[in-house]
Amino acid sequence: MKNAIPKVGIVSLGCAKALVDSERILTRLRAEGYDISGSYDGADVVIVNTCGFLDSARSESLEAIGEAMAENGRVIVTGCLTDEAAIRAIYPDVLSVTGPHQYQQVVEAVHDAVPPVADPMMSLVPPEGLHLTPAHYAYLKISEGCNHRCTFCIIPSIRGDLSSRPAADVLEEAERLAMAGVKELLVISQDTSAYGVDLGYAESRWHGKPVKSRMTELASALGDLGVWVRLHYVYPYPHVDEVIPLMAEGKLLPYLDIPFQHASPRVLKAMRRPADHERLLERIRKWRAICPDLVIRSTFIVGFPGETDEDFEFLLEWLEQAQLDRVGCFKYENVSGAPANDLPDHVDEDVKEDRYNRLMELSRQISHERGQAKMGKTIEVLIDEVDEEGAFGRSWADSPEVDGCVFLSDTDLQPGDIVLAEVEHAEDFDLWGHVVGRPEPRKRRA
Ligand code: SF4
């Protein structure tokens, strides 16, 4: 061991859910007296939290393990790339390999590599835990796993069936975060609308009151904490209708991330996902009638095996009608172990590329037009970064990393400030403007 206080480095790959796993591991280690190293060089051991969702993500994870081995040599692998044989075939000397959310095993592997020496009572862990995101926003993971079996996905085989946290447990964490200065909570899971199904929607007590472990009740209680609350990975079950009024009354950000993946009934059937595009369009119209500011983000897969030109045109037409504000798109890739690999009629790469470009162009046009409608309006912006030229942040319409930005000409701001800004210019996914004031602080109602 080269440091008097043992130091652990971490490389966190993949999605926000994996980032939360990394934060939990670091929080445990910090509580045990370990220090966190920002470099390979300064670390006594390096944890690589992998992503194994797509074959390209597996390659990136293997590369990251290789880099950590070359730069440090003492490497603990955890996360969604669970194929230990494949990892050890290339890097036989990694210290251990574990799957996602196996926090205890990772911590034990760190103990084996570098025993803790500090008195845990003396270590400094903030009550809200350690976070890899900026101090003003945090991901809040409400469940693990998934009960669906989409044919392109291996998450249920990696992370298991849905396993929800009791509502009081989630609310306690959310409250600690809010008290520590977090201004925006991003609710994540594999399937947020299924939250609590596995618990039979059991109640737990929060500040003396019973709260059901069900999406609407949890979201409503989170909305009482006086911070922005943004819902991700919502599957369009009927009870999603219940959160729209909460958005209209300002309890939740009027933002829904619903990964539709496709619109063509044929493709959705092959994906083993519900195909009800007509009803969905109708519901989106109703949601917008109740909450006109509602922003809908979604992701789509193009070039799924068997996707024909007609299926793709159907998707474009549906998107045109749905007028989704934010769209991410993936070109279909095989995922080792996924049933979709064995489907017939895989789509040529150049066709996938063409469909990807066309879908993204349509989405850019829709976002651009919807952005134009915001010109001259005054909106709330949460500041992410400030430099000598100005600041940028996000409105209710922008989740970090995946959506657009609001660029402001003002420099006398701090990350984490919430300001009122007038929109002067809108282009593609982004807005430009200047500060005109500060909003009334959101009041905590819990
Ligand atoms: S809903 Fe489908 S794509 Fe999402 S995690 Fe579950 S199985 Fe995978």
Ligand 1 centroid to Cα of residue 170, in Å, is: 22
Least confident of 209-213, 273-277, 403-407: 273-277
Q: What is the pLDDT of residue 2?
A: 65
Exposure of 125 by Cβ count < 10 A (0-12 exposed, 13-18 middle, 19+ buried)? middle
Query: In this model, does residue 418 exceed pLDDT 60?
Result: yes
Nearest to residue 299, comparing CAs of 252, 258, 271? 258
Least confident of 216-220, 235-239, 357-361: 235-239
d(CA 328, CA 299): 4
Q: What is the pLDDT of residue 117?
A: 67
**Residues ≥6 apart with Cβ < 8 Å to 314:** 263, 264
Average pLDDT over residues 138-157: 92
Query: In this model, does residue 221 exceed pLDDT 90?
Result: yes
Q: Whose CA is nearest to atom 1 of ligand 1?
A: 148
Ligand 1 centroid to Cα of residue 233, in Å, is: 10
Average pLDDT over residues 370-384: 95
Ligand 1 and 138: CB distance under 6 A? no
Query: In this model, does residue 402 exceed pLDDT 60?
Result: yes
Q: Which of 147, 151, 153, 257 maximizes ligand 1 atoms within 8 Å of its Cβ, making it the mutation to test the pocket?
A: 153
Ligand 1 and 15: CB distance under 6 A? no
224: confidence class by pLDDT, cuts 50, 70, 90: very high
Provide the pairing of β-strand 228-231 with 137-141. Answer: unpaired
Exposure of 248 by Cβ count < 10 A (0-12 exposed, 13-18 middle, 19+ buried)? middle
Ligand 1 centroid to Cα of residue 144, in Å, is: 11
Q: What is the pLDDT of residue 230?
A: 97
Measured between alpha carbons, how far apart are the two ends of the chain, in Å? 47
Q: What is the pLDDT of residue 122?
A: 46
For residue 233, give the ligand 1 atom closest to its CA. Answer: 4
Phi/psi at 418 (5° precision): -115, 125
Alpha-carbon distances of 101 from 31, 135, 176, 213, rounded to whole Å: 18, 23, 21, 21
Q: What is the pLDDT of residue 15?
A: 82
Ligand 1 centroid to Cα of residue 90, in Å, is: 30
Ligand 1 centroid to Cα of residue 347, in Å, is: 22
Is residue 214 within 8 Å of residue 195, measured between CB atoms?
yes
Query: In the numeric block, which tokens belong to residue 307?
Result: 């996707």
Q: What is the pLDDT of residues 27-59, one digit of tens each?
A: 878 877 788 888 898 899 999 999 877 778 888
Ligand 1 and 155: CB distance under 6 A? yes
Q: What is the pLDDT of residue 185?
A: 96
Q: Which of 51, 143, 149, 150 maximizes ligand 1 atoms within 8 Å of its Cβ, making it the mutation to test the pocket?
A: 150
Nearest to residue 182, comparing CAs of 129, 137, 219? 137
Ligand 1 centroid to Cα of residue 153, in Å, is: 6
DSSP string, 276-325: -HHHHHHHHHHHHHH-TT-EEEEEEEES-TT--HHHHHHHHHHHHHHT-S
> Pick the residue with more confidence: 82 or 229?
229
d(CA 302, CA 304): 6
Average pLDDT over residues 157-167: 91
Ligand 1 and 144: CB distance under 6 A? no
Provide the pairing of β-strand 203-206 with 96-97. Answer: unpaired
Tell me the three state secondary structure of residue 119. coil
Tell me the three state secondary structure of residue 55. helix
Query: In this model, does residue 445 exceed pLDDT 80?
Result: no
Q: What is the pLDDT of residues 316-372, one digit of tens each?
A: 999 999 999 999 999 999 988 899 999 999 999 999 999 999 999 999 999 999 999
Amino acid at residue number 28: R
222: confidence class by pLDDT, cuts 50, 70, 90: very high
Is residue 261 within 8 Å of residue 268, measured between CB atoms?
yes
Q: What is the pLDDT of residue 129?
A: 67
Ligand 1 centroid to Cα of residue 280, in Å, is: 19
Least confident of 50-54, 123-127, 239-243, 400-404: 123-127
For residue 261, give the ligand 1 atom closest to its CA. Answer: 3
Is residue 174 within 8 Å of residue 140, measured between CB atoms?
yes
Tell me the three state secondary structure of residue 275. coil
Query: In the numeric block, which tokens belong to residue 275?
Result: 């195909």
What's the mean pLDDT when you consider all of the chain? 90
127: confidence class by pLDDT, cuts 50, 70, 90: low
CB atoms within 10 A of CB 439: 12
Ligand 1 centroid to Cα of residue 58, in Å, is: 18
Locate tokens 């051991």: which residue?
Answer: 45
Q: What is the pLDDT of residue 3?
A: 66
d(CA 286, CA 162): 29
For residue 273, give the ligand 1 atom closest to its CA. Answer: 2
Q: Whose CA is nearest to atom 5 of ligand 1?
A: 190
Ligand 1 and 153: CB distance under 6 A? yes
Query: In this model, does residue 198 exceed pLDDT 90?
Result: yes
Ligand 1 and 156: CB distance under 6 A? yes
Nearest to residue 259, comparing CAs of 235, 290, 229, 293? 235
Is residue 186 within 8 Å of residue 137, measured between CB atoms?
yes
> Pick the residue with more confidence: 207 or 118?
207
d(CA 323, CA 298): 11
Query: In the numeric block, which tokens belong to residue 244?
Result: 């729209």
Query: In this model, does residue 188 exceed pLDDT 50?
Result: yes
Ligand 1 centroid to Cα of residue 26, in Å, is: 27
Ligand 1 and 339: CB distance under 6 A? no
Tell me the three state secondary structure of residue 234. coil
Ligand 1 and 367: CB distance under 6 A? no
Query: In the numeric block, which tokens belong to residue 218?
Result: 């949890």
Least confident of 3-12, 82-91, 382-391, 413-422: 3-12
Length of the chain: 446
Average pLDDT over residues 140-148: 93
> Pick the residue with more confidence: 24 or 301?
301
